[in-house]
Amino acid sequence: MADAFAGVRLLGPPVTDGEYIELSEHETVHLHEYTRIYAVPGLYEHVVQERLQCRSPQVAAEGLLRAAASLGLEPESMTVLDVGSGTGLVGELVRRGGVAKVVGVDALPAAREACLRDRPGVYADYVVGDFQLGDGLREALSPYAFGGLVSAGAFGGTHATPRALVNALGVLPPGAPVAFTIHEQWMDEADPDGFGVAVERLVADGRLELLERTRFQHRVTTTGEPIFYQLLVGRTG
Ligand SMILES: C[S@@+](CC[C@H](N)C(=O)[O-])C[C@H]1O[C@@H](n2cnc3c(N)ncnc32)[C@H](O)[C@@H]1O
């Protein structure tokens, strides 16, 4: 697959105002232009996993499996919600770890299409929706008795908001293991609209108990600088 992408070049500041990838001499796309990137089979995995060494899917999936084990829960009897599931990397990893069923949610129809194309059979269901908007998502997910939540690289910045995190946790029963990754900059407790304050409030209200909070290198930028995220592992209260 790598040869198919030999012409792909990574571009970053100060070349442009953000992180871009050059697909050909005629086409340059922003790294977060997922609809375009997901349209090419294997391109997201090549750029983000291989070239930018993204570890969030593995870190989040392992976090969830660790939390389940520490709570004495059998993955084989669990249905897990994957928020911002993209092309399905996280679902594949938790299924490989023994989880019985995974249901994906992503705001982009292109993510669902890519996942069904590249990883058919991994998800029991894959719903297009945004937890921020409460756009009938709860109803679409109501047939499932979720026993856990996992999410990698889908919260913060141009992605899902703290409100989306609160809403997603709201579909779980008490005592369910959860694991998600967030850029450390969005965990800054000095930001009243950030995830740091939202997580603090969830913990103070007894809606979330934190079992682990660790810093790890999520990936490198297109110019090679490390980006650090936090892994939050816990259980719903
Ligand atoms: C960086 S990708 C990560 C995909 C996948 N979790 C992985 O690790 O490979 C982030 C994904 O989150 C999705 N996303 C962003 N905001 C969202 C929201 N509010 N609700 C649902 N999905 C969202 C994007 O469409 C995108 O597919």
Distance 159 CA to ligand 1 centre (A): 6
CB 180 within 8 A of CB 165: yes
pLDDT at 181: 98
Q: Which of 207, 200, 198 is nearest to 236 (CA)?
A: 207
Domain match, 101 and 172 both? yes
Domain match, 200 and 120 both? yes
User: For the segment 89-98, what is each residue's pLDDT rounded down to a tens digit?
Assistant: 999 999 999 9
Q: Which of 211, 207, 212, 178 is nearest to 78 (CA)?
A: 178
Domain match, 82 and 170 both? yes
pLDDT band at 133 (very low <50, low <70, confident <90, very high): confident
Domain match, 95 and 118 both? yes
Domain match, 153 and 94 both? yes
Domain match, 113 and 132 both? yes
pLDDT at 2: 53
User: For the segment 174-226, what is each residue's pLDDT rounded down to a tens digit?
Assistant: 999 999 999 999 999 999 999 999 999 999 999 999 999 999 999 999 999 99
Q: How many domains does the chain have?
A: 2
Domain match, 10 and 118 both? no
Give the CATH number, domain containing residue 170. Answer: 3.40.50.150
Burial class (CB in 10 A: 0-12, 13-18, 19+), 225: exposed
Domain match, 109 and 170 both? yes
Q: Which of 35, 51, 67 is the last residue of a domain?
A: 51
**In what helix (H) or strand (E) does residue 209 lie, and over which residues does it extend?**
strand 208-220
> Higher-confidence residue: 154 or 132?
154
pLDDT greater than 60 at residue 73: yes
Could you identify the residue written with the tokens 């949610």? 105
Average pLDDT over residues 148-170: 95
Residue 183 neighbours by CB under 8 Å, 6+ apart? 156, 157, 218, 227, 228, 229, 230
Instruction: Report helix, strand or coil for 101.
Output: strand
Task: Encode 79-95: b = buried (16+ Cβ within 10 Å), e = exposed.
Answer: bbbbbbbbbbbbbbbbb
Domain match, 29 and 68 both? no
User: For the segment 99-119, what is each residue's pLDDT rounded down to a tens digit?
Assistant: 999 999 999 999 999 999 999
Q: How do beta strands 20-24 and 27-30 pair? A: antiparallel
Among 56, 92, 159, residue to substitute to test ligand 1 (most atoms within 8 Å of Cβ) = 159
Domain match, 22 and 77 both? no
Domain match, 131 and 208 both? yes
Of 108-122, 124-138, 155-169, which one has max mean pLDDT?
108-122
Residues within 6 Å of ligand 1 by CB = 34, 56-57, 84-86, 89-90, 105-108, 111, 130-132, 152-154, 159-160, 164
State which ligand 1 atom lies nearest to the alpha carbon of 49. 9
Domain match, 103 and 130 both? yes
CB 104 within 8 A of CB 123: yes
Average pLDDT over residues 150-172: 95
Phi, psi of 212 (to 5 degrees): -150, 145
Burial class (CB in 10 A: 0-12, 13-18, 19+), 17: exposed
Question: Which domain range does residue 69 map to?
Answer: 56-236
Average pLDDT over residues 156-166: 93
